[in-house]
Structures are given as structure tokens and as C-alpha cells.
Structure 1
Amino acid sequence: MTGNLAHLTLAFGLLGNVVSFMVFLAPIPTFYKVYKKKSTEGFQSVPYVVGLFSAMLWIYYALLKTNVMLLITINSVGCFIETLYICFFLFYAPKKARMESLKLIVLLIVIGFGLIVALTQFLASGVTRGVIVGWICLVFSLCVFVAPLGVVRQVIKTKSVEYMPILLSVALTLSAVMWFFYGLLLGDFNIAIPNVLGFIFGVLQMILYYMYKNKKPVADEKITTSEAKNSEMGQKIPEFKDQKIIDVVKLETLMHSDIPKDPSNVPSHTIEVKA
């Protein structure tokens, strides 16, 4: 029975790695657009910086454990990919956006992660250190999974799913399922619990997608009405430029290797920390 349980745990861990890897690659189309236009336009680096921080945090946690090697593999890949995204963003970002991104990197990666490692190394030891870092990962992951509420609100308000890619939602949901069972079978609730919330939000996003995919966006209706009125007055309305909205879902993917963080408007990425 123990052997079967170990094989099942390994299977869910490997599947979690595969799905999370696909989520990490989700932002590629976004960065291809940035490359073509030679500008980051309205995109932001937040999802990628948060994704990098999340991956580093889970690697540190995994190093304090003895049986979660699959967390190290996927988050190591996540660190590499997120770093590439950030470097790419900094290269094409205007000066103001570049400086803001560098400040966030220093605050979150250098100071934030540095303090966590230093304090846990000097003020805790043995099992206690792992417990503390585990709780930090748990709380951080829960906060990341709450992020999609912004996207959900946007969908309900505009009746448009333009900024909530269904394939990404499905991938994040599958990722949450895989990592939940991986954590559950290992008896590690720091990994399992956050993914319960990830699964719930993933299902909610898919339900909203099918509810509103054929609905006419509220914004479009308002613009149409406005155009009609101005047309009667013989006035010409300037074209509206599509507003780029950050897809918080991707942020979540980035932050969780297992979930995989990327928004279609934002520099895409699933934050996803393996949890």
C-alpha cells in the first residue's frame, strides 16, 4: 500500500510539473508582441516579479524538507523563466516603468526574500524553521489565489471575458488539482490548502466564461450609444484605444509554480508557486 501511495504521489507531482511548466510559458505571446512593437506599452512587470519571489520562496521551503524534490524542479524552472521575462521587460520598458520595476525587485526579491532567509536561519532551527517558512508560503499563496477576484469583478461588471483566457483558467485549475493531491498524499498541508482556493477560483472563472462568452460587453454598448448621439449632432468621435487590463489570473500562475501565473494584458505569467 505504501508503494502504491508513493507512486501515486510521484504521478501527481510529475503532472503538476508538466501543467505548471505550460503555465509558465503562457506569457510568451505577450512578450512576442512587446518584441514586435519594441515597447512594453501598458504591460506591467508585477506578475513576473511576484512569480519569481514565489518560486524562490517555495524552493527555500523545499530545501528545508526531505521529500518534495518535485517542488524544487518546477520552481527552479520557474525562476529561470521569470528572470528571462523580467530582463526582457526591463530591456523594452520606458525609463519610468523600468525604475518602478527595479524598485519592486529590490523591495520584494532582495529585501523581502533576504530577510525571510536571514531571520529564519538565525532565529529558528530544525523543524521549527521549516514550519515557519511553510506558513509564510501558505499565507503568500492564499493571497495570490485571491488576486483573481479583480478579474472576476471585471468580467461581471463588463459582461466580457476578453481578459480572462479560458485555456489559462483551465490550466490553472488542473495545476491546482495536481498540486493539491500531491500535497495531500505527502501530508504537507502548506502545499495542499492553497490549491483548494486555486481550484475554487479556477472553476468560478470557467463558469463565468461560459456565462458571458456570448454576451455583448457593457462597454461596447455605452460606446455605441455615445456614437449614435454624437452622429446625430454631426460630431465625430475619436477612436477608443483598447485599454490593457492586467490579467490577475496570470499573476497567480506566476506566483505558483504549481498553478501557473499569466494575464493577457499584463506581462503574462500564472505566478505560480508550487503549492
Structure 2
Amino acid sequence: MVTAEAARNVVGIIGNVISFGLFLSPCPTFYRIIKNKSVEEFQVYPYLATVLNCIFWVIYGLPFVRPDSILVVTINGVGLVIELIYICVYFSYAPNKGRKKVVYGLSGEIVFIAAVSLVFLLVFHDHKRRILAFGIICDVFNIIMYSSPLTIMKKVITTKSVEYMPFYLSLANFLNGCVWTAYALIKLDIFILISNGLGAISGAAQLILYGCYFRSTPRDEKVIDPKASQIQLSVSDGPDRV
């Protein structure tokens, strides 16, 4: 008979695989940056935000905060490395103004994370309170980041076209949210549940919009909105892509 812990591990591994794919989804953007040797109009903020999110989820999954959450640590640790690689590529091809954004952004995040973590660890001495403190801050950042798809969803409704909303990314978002919601329910983790429940709802909403406006999307448009290529969907549902 399969135990709840074994089932949770299997679901978590599946979630890790899907999350890994989502972390790799910006690769075409950075291939374009390397090919053109320019960051063009792309912004570094989504990747800085994902770094912040990943680090907090890594801390959340560590034994001194939330024991038995190694799969949360692994995927967010991998995601952190991938996001830092993206930022390094961005830094390499960005003008001085863009490089300053990277330096100031990372420096501010390091100070913020260190200050918050130090306060939480010194003030809260038991797992229950640490889980609550770090869980709340992780969910707050995730909820803020869930606003990122709203721009493209609004564009879909306004233009009645799904041209700039990738179907497979929306599908992956939905599946990722569902898998990690199941993970959180097997051994109740309210903070992972909140993050990924919202992620599943967001992904479902995107798929519904896709179904509604797929037929009305022009198939032979020659003119491409120059701003469309600048749209960057954050790939940080929680635990980050957990």
C-alpha cells in the first residue's frame, strides 16, 4: 500500500520536473539577447523578482524552518541558479543604465533577505512560528507576482486575440499549480496550497481565455505589435514554480 509520504514524494518529483520546464521558458528571450548582443527593451525586473522569490522559498523549505520539504528546496535552488544565469546574460549585454539596475536590484535584495531572515530567526524560535512568518512573506510575494499575467490577459480580451499568450506556457502554469496543490494537500501545507491554488486558478483563467478567443485570432496578420515582444510573464508561482 502506498503511503501518504511516498505519494507526496512522487507528486513533488513530478512538480519539480514541470517547474524546471517553466524556469527554462525564458530561454528564447535570452537566446535572442545573445544573438542580437542587446537586451533591447526587455526588462530585468521579472528575473530579479524571481530570484527574491526563490531564495525565500529555499529558506522556507530548510530544516530549521519547515522540515521534510526537501523538494521545495531543490526546485527553488535550481530555479535560483537558472535565474542568476539569466541575470548574468542580461548584465553582459545591457547598457550602463541596465547594469546599474542589476547591481542595485541584487544588492537591495541581499540586504532585504538578510535583514528579514535574521529578524525572523532571532524572534521566532520554534518551527510553527517560523513556518508562519516565512510562509506569509513567500505568499505575499507570490500574490504580487501573480499580477504579471493580468497585462497579457487584458490584451487578449481587448484585442480578442490569443496571439501573444502562449498556449503551452499557460497549460504548464495550470498543470504546475495543480500538481503542487495536490502536494500541499497530501500533507497539509497551507502556504504552498495558497500559492499554487492561485497559480492553478490563474492558469485555468488563461486557458479559458485561450478557448474563448482562439477562433477570433487572425491567422494571417502581417503587422506585429512591436511591444508584444517585450511582454515578459513572470515564471514564479510558488513555491517558486513550486
TM above 0.5, yes or no, is yes
Matched letter for residue 171 of structure 1 = A
Give 3-state SS (helix, strand or coil) of 1:160's partner: coil
Question: Match of 2:167?
Answer: 166
Distance 1:135 1:157, change over 3 A: same
Once the two structures are TM-superposed, the CA of residue 245 in structure 1 deviates from its matched residue by 5.4
Q: Match of 2:13, as an amino acid?
A: L
Match of 2:200 in 1: 199
Partner of 2:190: 189
Structure with the larger RCO, 1 or 2 (CA within 8 Å, 6+ apart): 1
Superposed, 1:255-274 pairs within 5 Å as: 255-256=236-237, 272-274=240-242
C-alpha separation in 1, matches of 2:124 and 2:74: 26
Which residue type is aligned with residue 16 of structure 1? G
Q: 3-state SS of the aligned residue for 2:205?
A: helix
8 A Cα contact 2:195 2:237, kept in partner: no
**CA pair 213-19 structure 1, distance change in 2 beyond 3 A:** same
Structure 1 residues 99 and 162 mapped into 2: Cα distance closer, same or farther (>3 Å)?
farther
1:256 deviation in Å? 3.3
2:61–2:67 contact (8 Å) kept in structure 1: yes
Residues 69 and 6 of structure 1: is their aligned pair in 2 closer, same or farther, counting only changes over 3 Å? Answer: same
- Deviation larger for 30-39 or 111-120: 111-120
Amino acid at match of 1:256: D
| Local SS of the residue matching 2:3 | helix
Query: What are structure 2's unaligned runs of at least 5 residues?
Result: none
CA apart distance, 1:240: 8.0
Query: 4+ runs of 1 displaced by more than 4 Å?
Result: none
AA matched with 1:208: L
| Structure 2 Cα separation of the partners of residues 33 and 147 of structure 1 | 22
166-175 or 117-126: bigger deviation: 117-126
Q: Displacement of 1:143 after TM fit?
A: 2.1
Please state if 1:213 is matched with 2:214: yes
Structure 2 counterpart of 1:104: 105
Q: Residue 145 and residue 243 in structure 1: after superposition, are their counterparts in 2 closer, same or farther (change >3 A)?
A: closer
In structure 1, the residue matched to 2:95 is 94
TM-score, normalised by the number of residues in structure 1: 0.80
1:115 aligns with 2:115: yes
> 1:39, CA displacement in angstroms?
0.3
Q: Is contact 1:42-1:244 (8 Å) kept?
A: no
Residue correspondences, number: 237
Distance 2:15 2:56 in 1: 18
Q: Which amino acid aligns with 2:122?
A: F
Code of the aligned partner of 1:93: A
Q: Could you say if the C-alpha distance between residues 186 and 169 of structure 1 is closer, same or farther in structure 2, counting changes exceeding 3 Å?
A: same
Alpha-carbon distance, 1:243 to partner:
1.8
User: Is contact 1:12-1:179 (8 Å) kept?
Assistant: yes
> Could you state the TM-score of these two structures normalised by the residue count of structure 2?
0.90
User: 8 Å contact 2:192–2:238 — kept in the other structure?
Assistant: no
What SS class does the counterpart of residue 256 from structure 1 fall into?
coil
Which amino acid letter does the alignment assign opposite residue 113 of structure 1? I
d(CA) in 1 for partners of 2:102, 2:43: 8
Instruction: Tell me the amino acid that sits aligned with residue 210 of structure 2.
Output: Y
1:122-147 deviation digits (Å, cap 9, x = unpaired) = 22211222221111112222222233
Letter in 2 for 1:53: L
> In structure 2, do the counterparts of structure 1 residues 51 and 240 end up closer, same or farther at CA, with 3 Å as the change threshold?
closer
Taking structure 1 as reference, are residues 141 and 85 closer, same or farther at Cα in structure 2, changes over 3 Å only?
same
Tell me which residue corresponds to 1:236: none
- Identity of matched residues, %: 34
SS for the counterpart of 1:242 is coil
- Output aligned runs, 1:62-141, within 5 Å: 62-63=61-62, 64-107=65-108, 109-127=109-127, 128-141=129-142
Cα deviations by residue, 1:90-145 (Å, 9 ceiling, x for unpaired): 101122222123222222x2122122111112222112222211111122222222
2:168 is paired with a residue whose SS is helix
